[in-house]
Amino acid sequence: MILWGQISQFSVFMVLQLLASYGKSGILELEDNEEHAVIYLEDGFVEAVSVPRSDHLLGARLVKSGHITQPQLRKIVLASRFRHQREFIGLTLMKSGKVDHQAIVDIIREQAYENTLELSNWVEGSFRFTVPLPAVCFPLPPHINVEHLLLEVSRRLDEGQRPTRAKKNLPGEELCAYCNAGCTPTQKRKYLRDGICLWRNMPVIVREALYAPDTQPTYEEEETRGLPFL
């Protein structure tokens, strides 16, 4: 084990940013009293995000998006099983010629966005980062930049999207009593829901880009050029 800590002290997004900034490769495991999630990283890029969801199957997502029909998917999967092939379903579909490589990668990338959104309300539990031997390799990795991933998830939160699996936590008043994020009443109304503070779990630099407080100083364009998220 290389890194371990409590999510209440270091949020999922903060830890992810730290690992990406040092270009780390390995597995970030997240646990609370209810669930277990895993984020796979390679050279600081996200290769996969696994959370407890019921609709995570790639084939089902491709059917839902219209890239392939249910009968076609079933026929390809059954033929693969008949040949005793045990490979990633995305490779099987790509070899069949029914779905192209980019469509599969796009679906996997969208899945990573949605799964990371689910992690935005994890405010309790623990995290641990390890480097497995041999390294975990994915045949069709989306190779997502962490800064882009967090900005996309934060944009969806700002537009009103919320995790589908609610977490039980302290009442909002208690959360705010021990928090120093300095939220405005408007921010609290928008991001504090059912004892979960989505605002607190965002990286600070993302907060500033999405919802700059009135007291934040303004900067000339030349000063902000090259800064992430701005």
Q: What angle do CA 143, 148, 152 make, to 5 degrees?
A: 115
The mean pLDDT value for 143-163 works out to 89
Q: Which two tokens stand for residue 53?
A: 């969801």
Residue found by looking up tokens 């994890």 in the block: 122
Is the backbone peptide bond immediately before 132 cis, with ω within 30 degrees of 0?
A: no
User: What's the 3-state SS for the chain?
Assistant: CCEEEECCCCCHHHHHHHHHHCCCCEEEEEECCCCEEEEEEECCEEEEEECCCCCCCHHHHHHHCCCCCHHHHHHHHHHHHHCCCCCCHHHHHHHHCCCCHHHHHHHHHHHHHHHHHHHCCCCCCEEEEECCCCCCCCCCCCCEEHHHHHHHHHHHHHCCCCCCCCCCCCCHHHHHHCCCCCCCHHHHHHHEECCEECCCCCCHHHHHHHCCCCCCCCCCHHHHCCCCCC
The mean pLDDT value for 48-58 works out to 72
The mean pLDDT value for 43-60 works out to 79
- Whether 62 shows a pLDDT value over 60: the answer reads yes
Q: What angle do CA 137, 17, 4 make, to 5 degrees?
A: 75
The answer to whether the predicted template modeling score (pTM) of the entire model surpasses 0.85 is no
Residue whose C-alpha is closest to residue 131's, from 6, 9, 17, 22:
22
Q: What is the pLDDT of residues 12-40, one digit of tens each?
A: 999 999 999 999 999 999 998 778 899 99
How many Å apart are CA 216 and CA 210, to the nearest integer?
12
- Whether 65 shows a pLDDT value over 60: the answer reads yes
The proportion of the chain whose per-residue pLDDT surpasses 90, expressed as a percent, equals: 20
pLDDT at 77: 76
Residue 73 binned pLDDT confidence (cut-offs 50, 70, 90): confident
Between 55 and 96, name the one with better pLDDT. 96
